[in-house]
Every structure is written in C-alpha cells, then in structure tokens.
Structure 1
C-alpha cells in the first residue's frame, strides 16, 4: 500500500468525510419510509426534551417502555440534542445513528492502531466506513448502532491501560454502560470481559489496585441492570421473541452466523436489515478474512486472542433467539473491518516491487467498484424494494389527515396493526404533555388520542359518519380497497375518497375517506 503513515491525519480526515457522507446523504428519505421502532425511540427523546418524561409519563427512566417490552435508554437520551436541533422528523431522528456510526469509524482507527499499527488502523477504519452492514444501521433509528461504538471505545481504553493503568477504571465504566445499549450486549459484554480477563490476567494482577476499583465501578453500574434484567419488565423482550432451549437448535443457529450466505451473499432475511441482493459484508472480503485469520496466528502479541475471542462470542446472544440476525450481531462489524484491514496490510507489506503496486491497485479498484455498486443499489433500487416494510407514505398520510378539519380521525387497525400507534404523535408532532393525558397503552388497548382513535372497524357496530377514516389499501389490483373496504361494504357504508399518497412504485397502501350510509 501507499506510505500512508506519513500522512495519516490527512487520510483519516478523508475516511471520516466519506464515512459521514455515506451515512447522511438522503438520510431523511432513504430508507423510504419510517418504521414504528424509529418513531417510538424518537418520540421518547422528544418527550424527554419537553417534559423530562418518556411517552408513558415516567420521569427520566433508565429503561423505556415500548408497547409490550422495555428498551435500554442510553440511545434515547443521546437523541435529545439532535431532536432539539433538527426537529421531530425522520432526518432529525436518524442523524443520531449517522453521527454514532461516524464516531465508531474514528474509534476503530484508534483501536486497530493500538492493537497493531497506524497503517492497519487506517485500513480498518476504511473498511468499516464502506461496510454495507454498518452503513445501513447508521442510517436508521435503531439503538443497536451504539453497541459497536461503546464496545470499541471501552476496549481501546482497556488497551491504553498498558501505558497508564488508570484507564482500567474508565474502561470498566464504559464497558458497563455498553450493556445499556441493546439486548444482545447484556450477554456479550460480560462474556467478553471474562475472556479478556483470562487473556490479560497478569496485567490485571500486576495493577490489582486499579483492577479492584475498576471491578467495583463496573459492579455499581452492572448489578442494577442485572437485577432489572431478571425482573418481569426486563424479561419482557425475551418472553416476546422467545429464548430457545433446544441445544441442537442453538448450535445450528450459532453456526448460521458464520455461513457465507449470511455474511457475504444473502444476509439477514428481514428487508429492514439489509438492502436487496447484498449481505452485510462484501464478497471480496472472503479471502481477506480467511488470510487475516490465518496470519493472525503468527502474531506474538496477545492482541490476536482478543480478536479470536470477539469472533467466537459475537453470535452467542443472537443464537439463543434466532439465526441470521444482522441487528443482534451488529457489534461484530468493527471486527470484520479490523481483520480485513490487517490482511490487506500484511499482504501489501509482504509483496515487493511491481507486484505490490499491481495488488494495491487491484484492491483499490475492487473496493471502489463494490462501493459504487452498493451506493447505486441503495440510492436507486432499495427505495423501491419492500416499501411496505418501511411503511412508505404512511407518515405523509397521517400528516395530511391531521391538517383536515374533521372533528375526529379513525385509524383502522388493519393499516399496520395497533403497533403503528406511535406514528400518530410522531408525525402530528403532538405535544408530549397532551399525549401523556391520554394514557395511551397498547397492552391495555388504550389507543384513543383525542381527535385520533385507533379502532378495529370489524368490532364497531356503528361507524361515525362525521369522522375521517385512514384505511388500508391493497396493492392487489383485484381488491384495491382491501380488507377495510370489504368491512365497510358489509356494514352498509360507502366511501367518499378524500386523498391518498402513492409510493415510488405507484402503489397505494393507505387512503383517506369519508363514509356515509347507503340509501
């Protein structure tokens, strides 16, 4: 490779600019739509900003209630200043992840530099900057993006403790805070720390004074989380998704996270967790990762065992839930970037003369070509792919309905089930103090928000003809009015079409109508 060490600062700035652009351009419109999880996180931050309470009226909670489970609160608190500056809208919600993703690339540079050298640090940062897996989750309002950021920062400061043992205490505090990021971190972080302690036990024993206080600091933050985790509220998410107990299934799911199909070709089955025809990593990384893992064996430093430990542990939390989940294993993205960067550095350092120049040129061309292909698919193809899962045009429909003069608006539960309730206060920018008064709770089926009411039309004996109705459409041309149209027809009502928004594929998923009794 080039003599990048001489101009490392310049190259790092270029990488960070590229990182930020890949994560922020078209951020408000791609992904095409806005999902309920994103709206829930954003509205909680909005509510904290204005009332110091979450959407359920709880004062500055550690964990935020969301429908039928509870979410770690660190991400929502980090969103507050961004919501303040950019407002309650998709861009204002997603910019938090874009900034965290960019910061992670900067941290990975320093982590890889500490593990190996500056050249590997720059290459690792470059790989993470262009990884589809990391780019995608840096562009949506999912709190899992915090896992690789805080974990890498914690590990970096732990490695800094070899020069100054006082960093052990700071590192332990950040490791414990990392557990307050996402469900999978609750399992991964404690397991990783046990492994890290076994690798560096001599260092920890030599500096046992700082090790002791680091352990105390970790416990102060970890034990309350552990107690909560074992409570009914803490187990709510596990009960919802279901923890597997079949050993053979767990093992099978564990190895699914090492399958080429998951890593390089198909990726996560959920269209919200990847773009079409691409997995989380590039196919050209296959030889790099294999070479990198083999070359690591020759390293005399204990750093290699840190990476092997990371690789072995990363699928464990997800394997107890399901196979091939990109969101539950997002913390592995810096690992694959570092191994790829290490392999490229070792290969180019080994080669001499014209071969070094040829291989370097080919690597640059391959990386650039893959990035261009990814960007083309992300910008031009992905917005048209599975617009239904991102609820494309639903936000526009809600905003339009809220501007009408109708005395009430009935939101049919057939639109996207009752879980889409949170999109109403998000897109109408409902004042949190007003929202709290309604006592909205999906578990208790309390879904009236003043003018807005979420109802199952099938269970209503009489329909209010003074209301505006937000109904589900049907992309099937033979049934353009969908299930809601059939219900209205059966109850003896006819529609008066008011408005609808067609998505980028010219499909109508939702429509606004007024109704009247058939004569």
Structure 2
C-alpha cells in the first residue's frame, strides 16, 4: 500500500498541475452533464451508493470488530440496564449524563442503543446498529447537503467518498459515545443550509434541535458547535438568510434542549447536590476529564499547539498504526494519496467562502472545518476526539476532484479509479483475517463468551483477570456484566473499587465476582471456584482441571 500511495499521490500532483496550467479546458460533455442531472440517474446512483454503504457497515456487524471494546462494554451495559431497569450501573434513574467509569460518557448513544436493545434484545448487533444506521444515513445527508451547496457532480463524488472512506466505515461499526458526533453535526448543518435557501422557520428549528442534541454525544461538541454556530449565524445575518424572529426561536429550541446538560455541568462544576426526580436524575461525577483531554495552559502550551498542527498533517498524510480501532495504516481518513486534493479543495472552498459571493455555500463546511480545526489544536489528540474534523475533509477532497473534472475529464476519471481501487484494497484488509485477529486482541475477543460460560457453571466465585492483574484485559468487569446480564442492583450495592474517586474506576469485586486473582489459583481454597484468564495461563493448571478455550481466553475449573 505504501508504493500505491506514493505513486498515486505523485500522479495526482501532476494532474493538478496540468489542470491548472493547460489553458484549454476539457470538462465532461454536455451529454454527460445531462445524464448526471437526470432524476433517473440520481435515484440509481444514490441507491447503489447506499447499498454499498449499508453492506460495508452492516455485514458481520457483531463479529467485526471482533470482541468488545471496554468503552463499548461500559456504554453497552448502561444501555441494557436503562432498557430493562430504568437505571444505569450506578443506580441513577434515567441520568442526564451517566457517571459510567467515574468521569462519565456521553448519554446520546446510551439512550439510542437502549431503544434498539429494548426492541431487538440484548446483542452486540443491536448495540452497534444505531451507529451503523447513522453512518449509512450520513452518506445520504451529505449528498443532499452538497446537492444544495455545490453542483451535482461534487455531490455524487462526496457521497461516494464518504461511503468508502476508511475512517467512516470503521467508526460506523462500533458503538462509542464520540462516534455519532460528526453525523449529528452534519444533519444539523444540512437543515441550517436548507433554512438559508428556503427561508423556512422549521428548517432552522430542526437544525437548532440537532445542534443541541449533538452536545449530548461528546465533549468536543461543547467547543466545536458554538464556534461553528457563531460563524454560521454571522454569515447568515450578513447575507440576510435568517430573520431575527427565526434566530430567536432557534435560540429558544437550543436552550430548551441544552438545559438538562447545563444543569448537569453547573452541579458538577460548583459541586452542588445531585438531583433525583421521578423522570430523571442529575448525578455528580467522581472527576472531571478536562486535564486529561485539554492541553494545560502552561509554558508548553504554544509548543504543544504547534505539535498538534504537525500531528494533524501526519494524520492526513501518513499516519502510523496507533489506533487500530479507528484507522488502518496506509489508508487513513479518506486515503493517503488524496492529500493534494484535500489541500486544493480546501483552498478553493475558503477562497469562495470569504468572497461572500455566489450560491456555493462553501461557508457552511468552512465554518465546520474552522471550528473543528481550532478544537483539534487544544486537546491531546486521538481520532475519537477530533473526528468532528473529518467530514469537512471528505468535502474538500470532493471539491478538489470537481476542479479536475471541470478542466481535464480524463485525469478526473483516473483519480476516481484510483480511489475505487484503494477502497477495494481497504475492504479486503478490513474484512480479512489479519485485521480481525489484530482488533480481536485489542477488543478482548472471547472474553465475554468465556465470562458467560463461567457464570453458567455451578461454582462459588468467578475470578476474572482485569487491568490491575493483567494488562490484556481492560474493563473486564464491564464485559462480564454485559454478557452475563447482571442486574444493576447486584452491582451498585456490592461493588468495591480500587479507587472510588478515580476518573476511571476499576472494580475489585462485586457480588460473587472477583477481579483480583489469587497468587496460587491451584490452592484447595479455590477448588470450588472458576477462573476466566488469558489463554497462556493454561500451563499453570494440571490434569485435575477442566479448561475451555474461547479465542484468546480460557475458563478453568477443577473437575468435581
């Protein structure tokens, strides 16, 4: 893939240079233009793209990524508990913001998943399905947005790029609270632009509702959405797209939806008493994550911001494997070799946006990119935190491809072929056995099944490896709770943590489950117990023990 990227990127740079220097333009023919403008072609194309999107996001959804990430287990268990008992694992009734590990997680995905679990039953497929469906829907909404803001060819290209973008496919297939954030912002932006064009108040109100709802996904939206809205509203007021009445009504909608979240943060920032009502609760967190998420305002702040700029270019240009659950080396966000098109498209979009002319509405995506870019500079970066940046990136690549299409149609066709070839290589890699095994190790594949089997045995105590006893298991107590369907009251009434006030609390024990392994697991004192361990522990046990294997984990019990 390395040589493919280098060669393709070199070709694209040459193509852009040719397109910029050659005076005689060779755009697509009028016949082709009429074809892509036709209603029949639109329906067929979008149907095909959506089918591809759905296939890439739904096929083997419960098996890939193999296993269950610790954050999935945390949100997944709370989703199941809310769906079945109306409380989370900490005993809070319909929490505005769940405490989770201690520092909380965004409530949007928890409640979305609880609805699907309520309807479909508890399964990894049901838990991940909301994110997969949001991913498919976002492809359609991006097309509708670009159809309104650019031209039909750019809209088709943008939808196709998002459908096969590696980051988008991967993030659509596992349930993290941060993953829906860019999708909800996209939906909100679509209705904002629609309001600018049709002047309908309901479009602005729906946009306001979606922007406010996005605040319940992940903390990145607390900065990105306000900055984005300030830019959008100034632009809309200057162009007279929005009236004062529409602005005020939209503000009311934003405030009403955001009030519970504001109450939560006021209570936590000022250490006020928790709120418990018949409908919802507003809990206190054990710790705030600001120090671990945002850069410190110290003497190194500026140098760290500069490092973040370099990290962003590295991410978009050549990103090493550090977050296998978010990105695969060599493919990156929307394929490494499209980086020159990203720069070109970004330049063209900002150039049009600052002129305040035309009906391209580039200001919309430029506002989003600006807000997300500023946010990405002040945080300790990882893919989940800065994922709000990536849909504008896809848009800029589409604009760059449209530049080639308007000048040298043959070069544009070659670029599209390169992207489709790369997407084929990505699909082969992602759905292949190599990646499945790698991600399975990160996502503790087999641990949940092993825990469920151990729980079904008639034994006194279930001992499980977890982070403080074996670093290969992270949040194993939550995976066990999810797979075994432990009632919330059994957990919150008996749990013992290593540190009750930590940002990330790990359980030592609860009920009959222990997450501190005995020094000598073969001692007679444990002959009536069962152990869930990484597979290499098997050598510690002799023939007196039954050992059942579940991928990289084993269940060990002494024969009766």
| Structure-2 change in CA distance of 1:154 and 1:283 (3 Å) | same
What secondary structure is seen at the aligned counterpart in 1 of 2:175? coil
2:457 maps to 1:404: yes
Contact 2:184 2:211 in 1 (8 A): yes
* Mapping for residues 142-153 of structure 1, pairs under 5 Å: 142-153=176-187
Q: How far did 1:265 drift?
A: 2.5
* Aligned counterpart in structure 2 of residue 471 of structure 1, from 526, 533, 536: 533
Instruction: Report the alpha carbon displacement of residue 59 of structure 1 after superposing the two structures with TM.
Output: 1.1
Q: Tell me, yes or no, if the aligned pair for 2:199 and 2:242 is still in contact at 8 Å.
A: no
Give 1:213 shift. Answer: 1.9
Describe how 1:61-460 pairs up with structure 2 within 5 A.
61-162=95-196, 163-166=198-201, 167-203=203-239, 207-229=243-265, 231-232=268-269, 233=284, 236-241=288-293, 243-245=295-297, 246-259=300-313, 261-266=314-319, 269-296=322-349, 297-298=351-352, 300-301=357-358, 303-323=361-381, 325-351=382-408, 356=409, 358-380=410-432, 381-385=434-438, 387-413=440-466, 414-416=469-471, 419-432=475-488, 434-435=490-491, 437-438=493-494, 443-444=499-500, 447-458=508-519
Counterpart of 2:84 in structure 1 is: 50
Q: CA deviation at 1:437?
A: 4.8
Q: How many residues are aligned here?
A: 490
SS of corresponding position for 1:64: coil
Distance in 2, Cα, partners of 1:205 & 1:372? 42
Which blocks of at least 5 consecutive residues in structure 1 are unaligned?
Answer: 475-479, 486-492
Spell out, residue by residue over 1:210-268, the C-alpha distance to the aligned partner (whole angstroms, 9 max, x if none): 11222232233335434533525466222454643232244124313531x31142256
Contact 1:138 1:145 in 2 (8 A): yes
Structure 1-normalised TM-score? 0.86
Q: CA deviation at 1:434?
A: 4.7
Residue 133 of structure 1 contacts residue 326 of structure 1 at CA under 8 Å; is this kept in 2?
no
Normalised by the length of structure 2, the TM-score is 0.80
Could you tell me how far apart the structure 2 residues matched to 1:219 and 1:397 are? Answer: 46
The separation in 1 between residues aligned to 2:107 and 2:96, in whole angstroms, is: 5
Cα offset, 1:42, TM superposition:
1.4
Q: Deviations over 1:171-219 (max 9, x none)?
A: 2222111111111111111111122222222256861111122223223
Question: Taking structure 1 as reference, are residues 265 and 498 closer, same or farther at Cα in structure 2, changes over 3 Å only?
Answer: farther
The offset of 1:294, in angstroms, is 3.1
Q: Which structure 2 residue ranges, 5 or more long, are not aligned?
A: 1-27, 270-283, 501-505
How far the C-alpha of 1:435 sits from its partner, in A, is 4.5
What residue is the counterpart of 2:46 in the other structure?
A: 12
> CA–CA distance in 1 between the matches of 2:36 and 2:166?
25
DSSP 3-state at the match of 2:199 = coil
Aligned to 1:488: none
- Which residue in the other structure is 2:75 paired with? 41
SS of the residue 1:387 aligns to: helix
Contact 1:411-1:455 within 8 A present in 2 as well: yes
Contact 1:119 1:345 in 2 (8 A): yes
User: Hey, what's the Cα distance between the residues in 2 that align with 1:412 and 1:284?
Assistant: 43
SS in 1 for 2:187: helix
In 2, Cα distance between equivalents of 1:463 and 1:415: 22
Is 1:511 the counterpart of 2:545? The answer is no
Q: 1:496 to 1:386 in 2, by over 3 A?
A: farther
In the TM superposition, residue 429 of structure 1 has moved relative to its aligned partner by: 2.5
Q: Please state how far the C-alpha of 1:286 moved relative to its aligned partner.
A: 1.6
Deviations 1:360-387 (A, max 9, x none): 5423321221111001110112112253
Q: Secondary structure at the match of 1:194?
A: helix
CA–CA separation in structure 2 for the residues paired with 1:223 and 1:256? 37
Structure 1 residue 165: Cα displacement: 4.1
> Taking structure 1 as reference, are residues 31 and 392 closer, same or farther at Cα in structure 2, changes over 3 Å only?
same
Distance 1:221 1:256, change over 3 A: farther
1:476-495 mapped onto 2 (5 Å cutoff):
none
